[in-house]
Every structure is written in C-alpha cells, then in structure tokens.
Amino acid sequence: MKVELKILINENELKERLKTLGREISEAFNGEKVTAVCILKGAFMFTADLIREMETEVEVEFMRIKSYDGMKKKVDKLLYDVECDIKGKNVLIIDDILDTGGSLKFATKELRKRKPARMKTCVLLEKERKKDFKADFVGFKIPDKFVVGYGLDINELYRDLPYIAVVENNN
C-alpha cells in the first residue's frame, strides 16, 4: 500500500505533551494507584510512554475493541477484555484517538459495569468533529483527517512511526 504522509505532530512535541499529561493525570487521581486500561492495538505506544510520566503506582491491563477495517469505521466489537477485577479501583482508560467517540464510549460502558472507584479517560488525539463522548484528558486536538504513526495504523502498517502523520492520499 503506497500512501503519502505529512507529519502533523513530531516526536519532540509528543514527548513534551506526555510529560504534562502524566502530571495532570497523577494529580487528578491524587497520587493514588491507578489501573491503566490500554485499548489495543492503537494505544500501546502512547500507554507505555504515558505511564512512565505518571507520578503514581500504575498497573496495566489491556482491552481490544475492533472499530475499523482499513480506513472504514465499523461496529465496535470487544475482542479482548481486561483480566483483573477492577471493582473499587481507580481506572484510567487510555485510547489512541477520539474520532466519533464510539469505541471509548463502548469501553467505558463495559468497565463501568464492574464498579471501579473512579474512572477517567485519556486519549492521545481528539478529532475536531462532532462526537458523542468527551474524554477527561486529551493530548492533542487535530483536524478531521485520517492519521497514522505512534501506534495508529492503516491495516496494521505505520504503527512504528515515532510521530503522528496525516495520510495525504491512499492508493
């Protein structure tokens, strides 16, 4: 697949924002232990870097929700669920991008059923468009464009880029 990419957020911008975001999240949870739930696969790089910036104890869990086929949005489906009991715990759901809000709303609804003490959401990117969900923490607001890199993909490609890039064309 041949695509043209234009860098939107470079590596240094990502690192600097994650430092601030880590502090904001730690303060919001009053330095208490947090169970970070990484939404796979797109948020794995973001989660790894973010939890290193948090100033609190963090345990990590994973959840996988299938939302896209290539660049086409599909119905959200739970493919992999967290393994630990989150009842009474502080939970931070970490996702790569808030697009329509569907997958984050889905994850929040699923995890809320398990009665965590507190639950907050964090996204690396939020598209400037109408959504039916609002994240508690947002790394960057971006234009309504398809992006890849730093964990985000098209058909499993481009996750390895150390920056966020806009897909200019898709042939």
Residues assigned a catalytic role: 99
- CATH 3.40.50.2020 applies to domain 11-142: yes
Burial class (CB in 10 A: 0-12, 13-18, 19+), 90: buried
| DSSP single-letter state for residue 161 | -
For 59-79, what is the mean pLDDT?
77
Q: Quick one: which of 101, 96, 167, 93 has its CA closest to 131? A: 101
pLDDT band at 150 (very low <50, low <70, confident <90, very high): very high
Distance CA 147, CA 125 (A): 10
Residue 36 and residue 92 in contact, taking contact as beta carbons nearer than 8 Å: yes
Q: What integer best gives the mean pLDDT of the chain?
A: 91
Residue 163 pLDDT > 90: yes
Residue 118 has a CB neighbour count (10 Å cut-off) of: 14
Higher per-residue pLDDT: 75 or 64: 64
Helix 44-53 with 11-28: angle, nearest 10 deg: 60
At 3, list the tokens: 């695509």
CB 83 within 8 A of CB 102: no
Query: Amino acid identity, residue 33?
Result: K
